[in-house]
């Protein structure tokens, strides 16, 4: 399966961020948006042309994504977007729930007043993104929110692991986040996390963060099951209205 799925990746605009990071961000967004689906074979020539980057810069980004487990390589098909078994996805969510509960508690222990204010502001932005219904805006706001949470918690290891786990489950998360009921439930869950953190209640913040990930996992698997059912269901015959 070639990279051309009917949708093109936009050429990158050269910014101050390292080009490797820009390429990683572009590929990550393409995976999250479903432009690059699990199992899609990646052709370096096509990616270089679409992103308007050199093969050297592209390979640096691809190596990093492969190290993170987002991409995989086989002898027969070469480099492709990684696939995730149900068991691996379940384990990823379980680990995330523990890590996010930990950083919520640590944020209260270590963050300064400015970081509490920043997190509250980012929480409002995240809730606004959920209400917009735009998966792209939601994912962008979630990254900013959790970057702040992990930074305030003074836990760089947790940040790295959470980032890696969310990358591995990005396609699954995007399918779930596109559902209106999940967006509405997420607003309530973020409210619970923010309220507990504002109250400096480490136990409640930890519980709320854990519950948020558990709820996200349940929604993601429900969305995945629905997609599977839709794919295998036989086409419905139109009702005969002529008697």
Asked if residue 186 and residue 98 are part of one domain, the reply reads yes
Q: Is the pLDDT of residue 141 over 80?
A: yes
pLDDT band for 226, please (50, 70, 90 cuts). confident
pTM, two decimals, is 0.80
Domain assignment of residue 150, given as a range: 86-230
| Per-residue pLDDT reduced to its tens digit, 155-171 | 999 999 998 898 889 88
The pLDDT value recorded for residue 126 is: 97
Q: Identify the weakest region by mean pLDDT among 19-33, 79-93, 216-230.
A: 216-230
Question: Is 111 in the same domain as 75?
Answer: no
State how many domains the chain has.
Answer: 2
CATH code for position 207: 1.20.120.530
Q: Are residues 97 and 38 in the same domain?
A: no
Q: CA–CA separation, 122 vs 200, rounded Å?
A: 17
Question: Do 222 and 107 lie in a common domain?
Answer: yes
32 lies in a domain?
A: yes
Q: Which long-range contacts link 186-193 to residues 24+ away (Cβ below 8 Å)?
A: 186/130, 186/212, 186/215, 186/216, 187/127, 187/130, 187/131, 189/215, 190/123, 190/126, 190/127, 190/130, 190/145, 191/127, 193/104, 193/123
Rounded to a whole number, what is the largest CA-CA distance in the chain?
A: 73
- Residue 47 belongs to some domain of the structure: yes
Residues 149 and 202 occupy one common structural domain: yes
Q: Are residues 110 and 175 in the same domain?
A: yes
Tell whether 98 and 196 lie within a shared domain: yes
Asked if 54 and 48 touch (Cβ cutoff 8 Å), the reply is: yes
pLDDT digits (tens, 9 = 90+) for 71-88: 999 888 899 999 889 999
Give the model's pLDDT for residue 185.
96
On whether residue 143 sits in a domain, the answer given is yes
% of the chain with per-residue pLDDT over 90 = 67
- Report the distance separating Cα 66 and Cα 165, nearest Å: 13
């Amino acid at each position: 399966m070639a990279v051309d799925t009917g949708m093109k990746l936009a050429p990158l605009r050269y910014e101050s961020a390292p080009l490797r990071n820009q390429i990683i961000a572009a590929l990550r967004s393409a995976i999250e948006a479903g432009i690059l689906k699990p199992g899609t074979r990646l052709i370096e020539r096509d990616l270089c042309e679409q992103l308007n980057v050199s093969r050297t810069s592209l390979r640096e980004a691809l190596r990093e994504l492969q190290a993170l487990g987002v991409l995989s390589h086989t002898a027969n098909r070469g480099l492709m977007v990684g696939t995730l078994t149900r068991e691996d996805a379940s384990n990823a969510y379980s680990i995330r729930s523990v890590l996010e509960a930990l950083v919520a508690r640590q944020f209260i222990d270590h963050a300064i007043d400015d970081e509490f204010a920043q997190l509250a502001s980012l929480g409002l932005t995240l809730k606004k993104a959920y209400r917009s219904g735009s998966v792209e805006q939601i994912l962008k706001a979630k990254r900013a929110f959790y970057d702040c949470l992990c930074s305030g918690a003074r836990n760089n290891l947790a940040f790295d692991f959470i980032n890696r786990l969310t990358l591995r489950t990005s396609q699954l998360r995007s399918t779930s986040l596109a559902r209106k009921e999940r967006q509405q439930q997420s607003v309530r869950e973020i409210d619970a996390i923010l309220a507990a953190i504002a109250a400096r209640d480490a136990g409640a913040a930890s519980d709320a963060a854990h519950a948020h990930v558990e709820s996200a996992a349940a929604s993601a698997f429900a969305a995945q099951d629905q997609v599977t059912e839709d794919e295998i269901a036989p086409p419905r015959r139109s009702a005969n209205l002529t008697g």
